[in-house]
Amino acid sequence: MSQEIIQKTAHELHDDLRSGATTATALAEAQLAHIDGHDDKVKAYLETWNDEALAQAAAIDDALSKGNDPGLLAGIPIGLKDNLVTTTGTTGCSSQILKGFESPYTATAVQKLYDAGGVMMGKLNMDEFAMGSSTENSSMQKTANPWNLNCVPGGSSGGSAASVAANEAVISIGSDTGGSIRQPAAFCGCVGLKPTYGRVSRYGLIAFASSLDQIGPLTKDVEDSAWALNVLSGKDPHDATSADLPVPDYREALGKDINDITIGLPKEYFTDSLGDDMRQKIETAVDVLKAQGAKVVEVELPHTNHGIAVYYILATAEASANLARFDGVRYGFRHPDAKDVKEMYTMTKSEGFGPEVQRRIMLGTYVLSSGYYDAYYKKAQKVRALIRRDFDQAFEKCDIIATPTTPASAFEFGAKSQDPLEMYLNDIYTTTANLAGVPAISLPCGLTEQQLPAGLQLIGKPFAEADLFRVSHAYEQNRGFDMGHAPIA
Amino acid sequence: MSKITTEDVEYVAGLAQLILDDDSKERLVHEMGDILNYMDALNELDTEDIEPMMHVLDLANVYREDEVKKSLSKEDVFKNAPKSEGDYFLVPRILDNTES
């Protein structure tokens, strides 16, 4: 019974909680017990909030018993990436420099989940400051892929993806700067959405690259993703870049036909660097959409190959500025041996930041430094404009762009950690959506020969998440197979 | 031949307020060199007439009334400080007292 309950989706549990088939307390207890029994192998959670979760669940049960509506996500166990600040527990970005930080406020996105009745289970592991594609850059622990414990879960929201895949959370929240929701979702066989830039408030998301960062949900299915975005979206006075646009009920997009949809296949994504196995998975997925009535055309995104270079210039430049605030004065770690202020800054940063974060601060500082600013930073901003133009032109011919999420399925621990450039190239299919600010979703589309999940990426027009959900749902309902559960789940 | 030298790495580390040991410097000369070489592929694009894009949204300045609102308590603000006293964050000595 308890095994069954934690395998369910949020929309199924929503009905169970209202029909009396289960209670929020029973659900929270089952979820905590499952985490307790599995997370020693998966290591998704940095901390769990048992007492708070049970108290929240009791309040939900009380509201339900009185006939009140405690919200769309009432009683649903939710996990949070460790870069979302919360007054409960600690927020550390999986970094030694912020370890033990107790936030005086809660991120808007998280507050919206609380207001919708979500039951917060705790904080999830990530690459330090969201910099990485395998979660191996966490200074805290290594999170394993629930489909194969020798493989990475992807990153940087690796804990978020692994927790959903291992049924250790019904929904987890991640952040995506260059693929950090979609790539781990693809590696772990869950649904991962990066909304349009500005759709979800970034207030309380510890900044990595402010012009690219976006918060989004990792879920067991498309319907839960739509439910979560309903709750997360909206204008926030605390985030001047949050969009002042109405939030549609994304659930209304589900179950509708896709006869009017044109799918674009960018030829630049289907080159020799894409493995045959993955290519075949994507082609099969596109055939499913075609059978459902969608038209398929070829489109061009000519600057795709320059995406990684643009991304790593702009993201590191913004990161080098954002991370300057970790100076040992107001919060976080301060090196105990510093004798003067200069030493306090240098010794604190050098000891507190891990190798990948230091590498990116160095790169970002270099591309912004006098003499190199025009050659790298400004050049990258110009090519970013070309990338956005590519998308605008492609979307004149189609409504949705379909691509692989990653060139291959999850790799083993250590396989790429010695070569930073090789690790960066793993983001080839995901960074351009952030650079262009458009929404994108990764959907499980089968298992590769290695018995690891493959990810189909669908990219939409700005603020057209409803179309993204409609096409995603049509695929998921008609793909003709059940992904099943990860062996560890 | 790497694109950047040990001296470049030392200069940038100074700007970034990082202390690097010799092994890290050598590693970064190679890693940053490789990455910057890869980034040089952008030079094959003609961007002469392209406006740099800083942001994907058309942003306007946000104004609000200058009203006093509730903000964080001092207790909350100082609770994460490595060292504080009263309403102040304490830091090590800033001025070298041998100069005066």
SS3 call for A99: coil
Percentage of chain A exceeding pLDDT 70: 99
- Each residue's pLDDT tens digit, A87-119: 999 999 999 999 999 999 999 999 999 999 999
Q: How close A167 comes to chain B (CA, Å)?
A: 34
Which residue shows structure tokens 């590498």?
A359
Q: Please list every residue in chain B whose beta carbon sits closer than 8 Å to the beta carbon of residue A339.
A: 92-93
Contact A424 B59 (CB under 8 A): no
Q: Please list every residue in chain A whose beta carbon sits closer than 8 Å to the beta carbon of residue B20.
A: 350
- What is the model's pLDDT at position A148? 98
* A2-260+403-478 belongs to CATH 3.90.1300.10: yes
- What is the model's pLDDT at position B2? 62
Q: Please list every residue in chain B whose beta carbon sits closer than 8 Å to the beta carbon of residue A358.
A: 18, 24
Within-domain flag for B69: no
Q: Which of B16, B41, B92 sits opposite A341 (nearest CB)?
A: B92
Q: Is the pLDDT of residue A323 over 70?
A: yes
- CA–CA separation, A379 and A112 (whole Å): 38
In the predicted model, what is the mean pLDDT of residues A339-358?
Answer: 97
Q: How close A197 comes to chain B (CA, Å)?
A: 8
Q: Is the pLDDT of residue B99 over 80?
A: no
Q: Is the pLDDT of residue A145 over 70?
A: yes
Is residue A180 among the annotated active site residues? yes
Q: Please list every residue in chain A whose beta carbon sits closer than 8 Å to the beta carbon of residue B23.
A: none
Contact A330 B81 (CB under 8 A): yes
B77 touches chain A (CB under 8 A): yes
Q: Please list every residue in chain B whose beta carbon sits closer than 8 Å to the beta carbon of residue A310.
A: 42
Q: Is the pLDDT of residue A450 over 60?
A: yes
Q: Please list every residue in chain A whose beta carbon sits closer than 8 Å to the beta carbon of residue B88.
A: none
In the predicted model, what is the mean pLDDT of residues A192-203?
Answer: 98
Residue A488 pLDDT class (50, 70, 90 cuts): confident
Within-domain flag for B58: no
In the predicted model, what is the mean pLDDT of residues A385-401?
Answer: 98
Q: Which of A309, A424, A437 sits opposite B42 (nearest CB)?
A: A309
Within-domain flag for B78: no
Within-domain flag for B34: yes
Q: Which of B42, B72, B83 to mutate to test the interface with A (most CBs of A within 10 A)?
A: B42
Amino acid at the residue A442 = S
Chain length of chain A: 489
In the predicted model, what is the mean pLDDT of residues A131-158?
Answer: 98
Within-domain flag for B24: yes
Q: Please list every residue in chain B whose beta carbon sits closer than 8 Å to the beta carbon of residue A93.
A: none
In the predicted model, what is the mean pLDDT of residues A175-198?
Answer: 98
Within-domain flag for B76: no
Residue B100 pLDDT class (50, 70, 90 cuts): very low
B81 touches chain A (CB under 8 A): yes
- Each residue's pLDDT tens digit, A416-439: 988 888 889 889 999 999 999 999
- Each residue's pLDDT tens digit, B23-78: 999 999 999 999 999 999 999 999 999 999 988 887 778 888 999 999 999 999 99
Residue A170 pLDDT class (50, 70, 90 cuts): very high
For chain A, the average pLDDT equals 97
Q: How close A62 comes to chain B (CA, Å)?
A: 31
First to last CA, chain B: 48
- In terms of residue numbers, what domain contains B12? 6-43
- What is the model's pLDDT at position B98? 61
B90 touches chain A (CB under 8 A): no
Instruction: Give whole-number Cα distances, A196 to A10, A127, A228, A282, A478, in Å.
Output: 23, 23, 14, 23, 26
Q: What is the DSSP letter of A306?
A: G
Q: How close B18 comes to chain A (CA, Å)?
A: 5
Contact B59 A240 (CB under 8 A): yes
Pairing of strands A400-404, A262-266: parallel
Contact B53 A388 (CB under 8 A): yes
- CA–CA separation, B41 and A421 (whole Å): 14
Percentage of chain A exceeding pLDDT 90: 96
Among residues A180, A201, A242, A409, which one is catalytic?
A: A180
**Cβ burial B45-62 (10 Å sphere, 16+ → b, else e):** eebeebeebeebeeeeee
- What is the model's pLDDT at position A366? 97
Which tokens in the block code for residue A33? 């017990």
Q: Which of B15, B82, B83 sits opposite A369 (nearest CB)?
A: B15
Nearest to A296 by CA among A120, A471, A473, A52: A471
Among residues A8, A43, A81, A220, which one is catalytic?
A: A81
Chain length of chain B: 100
Number of A to B CB contacts under 8 A, please give it. 154
Residues whose CB is less than 8 angstroms from the CB of residue B90 and which lie 6 or more positions away in sequence, other chains included: B81, B83, B84
- What is the model's pLDDT at position A1? 47
Residues whose CB is less than 8 angstroms from the CB of residue A249 and which lie 6 or more positions away in sequence, other chains included: A230
B85 touches chain A (CB under 8 A): no
Is residue A175 among the annotated active site residues? no
- Each residue's pLDDT tens digit, A27-55: 999 999 999 999 999 999 999 999 999 99
Residue A227 pLDDT class (50, 70, 90 cuts): very high
Q: Please list every residue in chain B whose beta carbon sits closer than 8 Å to the beta carbon of residue A197.
A: 56-57
CA A53 to chain centre: 23
Within-domain flag for B84: no
- What is the model's pLDDT at position B57? 85
In the predicted model, what is the mean pLDDT of residues A172-179?
Answer: 98
| Nearest Cα residue in chain B from A302 | B45
- What is the model's pLDDT at position A271? 87
Q: Which of B12, B19, B47 sits opposite A347 (nearest CB)?
A: B19
B29 touches chain A (CB under 8 A): no
- Each residue's pLDDT tens digit, A49-59: 999 999 999 99
More confident residue, B88 or A1: B88
Q: What's the structural domain count of chain B?
A: 1
- What is the model's pLDDT at position B94? 86
Q: Is the pLDDT of residue A12 over 90?
A: yes
Residue A244 pLDDT class (50, 70, 90 cuts): very high
Q: Is the peptide bond before A156 cis (omega within 30 degrees of 0)?
A: yes
Within-domain flag for B26: yes
Residue A3 pLDDT class (50, 70, 90 cuts): low
- Each residue's pLDDT tens digit, A267-286: 999 988 888 999 999 999 99
In the predicted model, what is the mean pLDDT of residues A380-405?
Answer: 98
Residue B1 pLDDT class (50, 70, 90 cuts): very low
Contact B17 A345 (CB under 8 A): yes
